[in-house]
Amino acid sequence: MKPQLLIGAMSPGSGKTLFTTGLSRLLKRKGQQVQNFKCGSDFVDAKLLELASDNPCLHIDLFVASSSHVQHLYNKYGERADVCLIEGQGGLFDGYDRKNGSSAQIAELMKAPVLLVVNARSSSYSISASIFGFRHYHPSARIIGVVFTQVVSSEQYLFLRKASQDAGVNCFGYIPYDERLKLPSKHACHTNAVIQEVEGIFDLSASFIEKYVDIDHLFSSCQRSFPVPYTLPYKEETDTISYYSPKKHLRIAVADDPAFGLTYPENLNRFSQIGEICRFSPIYGNDIPQADIIYLPGGYPEMFARQLYRRKKMLEDLKNYAEAGGRILAEDGGMVLLSQSLCVREGGTAYPMAGVLPLEFALTDKKIQSGYRQIHDRNTMLRGYEYHYTSVRSKLGITPTAQVVNPFGNEVDTPFVRFKNVIASFSHLYLGETDIQKLWD
């Protein structure tokens, strides 16, 4: 038995990340081992949860992974924790197709009770109707109570407590409105200055939770047996390498710095099962390690375009490695690094990149492009999530090598390119159930 809780919300912007990071920080202060999970594929929220708890945060996403694989991850990483916290995505019932893939579906799969975080700014007793509706819309996602955020006064909180009681759920407390409780934009969350800033926000949120939220009552309400039993139909154990352990003779070079820091932790775990991982920094270093495979994850190269352009030896070595048939897997920002050029403002300089792929990228208006993607490549089906500010400015006569579709089967204009032994995708690929070496067969 241990406390297990999914922290959901009525809509984005309700404060669930602020609450989850604050709660994680508070538990860390108390000497508790917290295992955080993030519904969906938001890499920045996962990074914030990792910083708050000082423990890696795992993505659990029912579009990119099977149900049994998601349960396997939850049981594997939650085993040694004192508390398991799952932060939802968007609104509680928001999935890639109606409720499919939503936080509510994850809560049902994990048998985890739901705490609803409600933004109470300008709200009063009428919020009772919304809470009542969420509670009864899909009873299998069991909402045990609410916590209110942005509460402006003790008088308002009295109305909110009565509202939750009349909706039939516990009110565990609140976080008061404070201008300092504002997380920075996702596009800036990987700079050192911002990381120092969010540390103070975590600590402030933790202090408010300790003062205004009844943690003892909350955790006594969400005690559940562990591990979670697998649901049927059960897919055979996804970690097949645990039964067949080849010699780890490969060396995998992984780009890892503020420009290329967005990847699923399970991707790295999968690589570690076939070889030794060595890390390098495209923005701070000039040399690429000797490697059998180079992995270039996603990130924000547009924030470091000039620094990358100045790493001419690194860019030249990448091109030579690719031309010689070296195996490269590049996602999102990694694909940008392999392109011909990157322009970070309208009418600005187009900084030359590695020149491996016949693509040119530009950042013009910071318009976000996002969505789940399914890629049919040769005999392999890959799944991932696309989230980026850059866009393709020119394809220079590129020929598509795979079909890329959204969750509804509609083709999308998202590049996926093979060049010799280079595999490049504009989506963040999830490889937790993929035989990585077969990607190059």
Residues 211 and 247 in one domain: no
Residues 211 and 312 in one domain: no
**Which token pair is 110?**
């994990």
Residues 166 and 280 in one domain: no
In which residue are the tokens 């999830």 written? 430
Higher pLDDT pick, 328 / 198: 328
Query: Measured in whole angstroms, how far is the alpha carbon of residue 150 from the centre of its chain?
Result: 25
Q: Is residue 235 part of a domain?
A: no
Q: Is residue 339 part of a domain?
A: yes
Residues 74 and 39 in one domain: yes
**Percent of the chain scoring above 90 in pLDDT:** 78
Rounded Cα distance, 39 and 42, in Å: 8
For 64-68, 85-89, 401-405, 419-423, which range has the lowest pLDDT when averaged over its residues? 401-405
Q: What is the mean pLDDT of residues 35-61?
A: 94
Residues 265 and 157 in one domain: no
Q: Is residue 229 part of a domain?
A: no
Q: The domain containing residue 219 runs over which residues? A: 2-224
Residues 137 and 258 in one domain: no
Higher pLDDT pick, 366 / 222: 222
Rounded Cα distance, 292 and 276, in Å: 10
For the chain, give the mean pLDDT: 91
pLDDT band at 244 (very low <50, low <70, confident <90, very high): very low
Q: Which of 52-56, 185-189, 398-402 has the highest mean predicted lDDT (pLDDT)?
A: 52-56
**Which token pair is 427?**
């989506």
Tell which of 170, 189, 224 closes a domain. 224
Residues 211 and 246 in one domain: no
Q: What is the mean pLDDT of residues 353-358?
A: 95
Rg (C-alpha) for the chain, rounded Å, is 23
pLDDT band at 433 (very low <50, low <70, confident <90, very high): very high
For 101-105, 155-159, 239-243, which range has the lowest pLDDT when averaged over its residues? 239-243
pLDDT band at 363 (very low <50, low <70, confident <90, very high): confident
pLDDT at 243: 41
Residues 175 and 317 in one domain: no
152-204 pLDDT tens trace: 999 999 999 999 999 999 999 999 999 999 887 665 666 666 777 899 999 99
Rounded Cα distance, 122 and 23, in Å: 24
What is the domain-level CATH number for residue 49? 3.40.50.300
Q: Is residue 230 part of a domain?
A: no
Residues 209 and 291 in one domain: no
pLDDT at 242: 45
- Please state, in angstroms and as integers, the Cα–Cα distance from residue 34 to each residue in 52, 81, 266, following that order: 10, 6, 18
Q: Is residue 234 part of a domain?
A: no
pLDDT(394) > 80: no
pLDDT(411) > 60: yes
Residues 271 and 408 in one domain: yes
pLDDT at 240: 47
Q: Is residue 168 part of a domain?
A: yes
pLDDT at 391: 78
pLDDT band at 395 (very low <50, low <70, confident <90, very high): confident
Number of domains in the chain: 2
pLDDT band at 132 (very low <50, low <70, confident <90, very high): very high
Which is nearest to 256 in space by CA: 198, 296, 225? 296
pLDDT(138) > 80: yes
For 54-58, 185-189, 434-438, which range has the lowest pLDDT when averaged over its residues? 185-189
Tell which of 171, 191, 224 closes a domain. 224
In which residue are the tokens 């920094």 written? 281
Q: Is residue 405 part of a domain?
A: yes
pLDDT at 392: 82
**Percent of the chain scoring above 70 in pLDDT:** 92
Tell which of 224, 258, 290 closes a domain. 224
What is the domain-level CATH number for residue 332? 3.40.50.880
pLDDT at 190: 60
For 119-128, 332-341, 360-369, 423-432, which range has the lowest pLDDT when averaged over its residues? 360-369
pTM: 0.93
Residues 200 and 51 in one domain: yes
Residues 175 and 203 in one domain: yes
Q: Is residue 7 part of a domain?
A: yes
Whether residue 228 contacts residue 111, with contact meaning beta carbons closer than 8 Å, is answered with yes
